[in-house]
Structures are given as structure tokens and as C-alpha cells.
């Protein structure tokens, strides 16, 4: 079956622009995670959804970062007024339930100029 998909795969933004990154989880997966992976580093947790509820947003680096999953399926990570330090690969993962194996999408590479 289809895995986790993310769009766009690549995004170039000028500093100060707003961006929106989309994640389509595996159908039926209750749990959805966002991670940020800076160049040469491992992924870092940003936020967690159980269905439409955002239960953990402890990893969001600033109030410029906002995530939503309004119908408990597709999720969007929005970054307002992008800064150069926001340049990274943003990974989305989903799992059937919270404790289950997380399946990762290919990521969106964001470059802020």
C-alpha cells in the first residue's frame, strides 16, 4: 500500500516568507509526528498528533512554527516569517497507534535564502 507522502519535496523560500508543508500519512494511522533534520544531524522531534489532537508540541522551536491536522488525516506544518536557521529537511511519520512503528515519509527539504 501507499506509504507516507510529503509535498513539496523541495521548497526554496526567501527569508521572511511563510511556507506550508504537507504530510499525507498512511491511511488509518492514528498517530502523526513531525521531525526536523538539520544538515548532518539526526532528526529532532517537533510535534505529535493523535487523530486531530495535538498532544505534544514541545519540540516546536518558536511560535513561528505551527502544525495542524484538522480532520485527523492530512497534516500541515506551517512556518511563518522563515529564517535561514529554518533550513532543514522536515520529516513526517505516522504510526497505527502511538507506540507502534513509525513510518517516515521522504521529507521536504526547505532552503531559506
Residue 83's contacts (CB-CB under 8 Å, 6 or more residues apart) are 15, 64, 112
Among 65, 107, 108, 110, binds another protein (CB under 8 A): 107
User: 11 near 19, Cβ under 8 Å?
Assistant: yes
Quick check: 55 binds another protein (CB under 8 A)?
yes
- CA torsion 98-101-102-103 (nearest 10°) is -140
Q: Are strands 10-13 and 108-112 parallel, antiparallel or unpaired?
A: parallel
Is there binding between residue 1 and another protein (CB under 8 A)? no
Query: Is residue 51 within the footprint of another protein (CB under 8 A)?
Result: no
Dist CA 81 CA 45 (whole Å) = 21
Q: Is 104 in the site for another protein (CB under 8 A)?
A: yes
Asked whether position 25 contacts another protein by CB under 8 A, the answer is: no
- Residues in the interface with another protein (CB under 8 A) total 28
**Min dist. Cβ of residue 1 to another protein (A):** 15
Residues that bind another protein (CB under 8 A): 3-4, 31, 33, 35, 40-45, 48, 50, 55-56, 91, 93, 95, 97-99, 101-107
Amino acid at each position: 500500500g501507499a506509504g507516507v507522502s510529503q509535498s513539496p519535496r523541495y521548497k526554496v523560500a526567501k527569508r521572511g516568507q511563510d511556507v506550508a508543508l504537507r504530510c499525507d500519512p498512511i491511511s488509518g494511522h492514528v498517530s502523526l509526528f513531525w521531525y526536523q533534520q538539520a544538515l548532518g544531524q539526526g532528526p529532532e522531534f517537533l510535534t505529535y498528533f493523535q487523530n486531530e489532537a495535538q498532544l505534544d508540541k514541545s519540540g516546536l522551536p518558536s511560535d513561528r512554527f505551527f502544525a495542524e491536522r484538522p480532520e485527523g488525516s492530512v497534516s500541515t506544518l506551517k512556518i511563518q516569517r522563515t529564517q535561514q536557521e529554518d533550513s532543514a529537511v522536515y520529516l513526517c511519520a505516522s504510526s497505527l497507534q502511538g507506540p507502534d512503528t513509525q513510518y517516515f515519509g521522504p521529507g521536504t527539504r526547505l532552503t531559506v535564502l
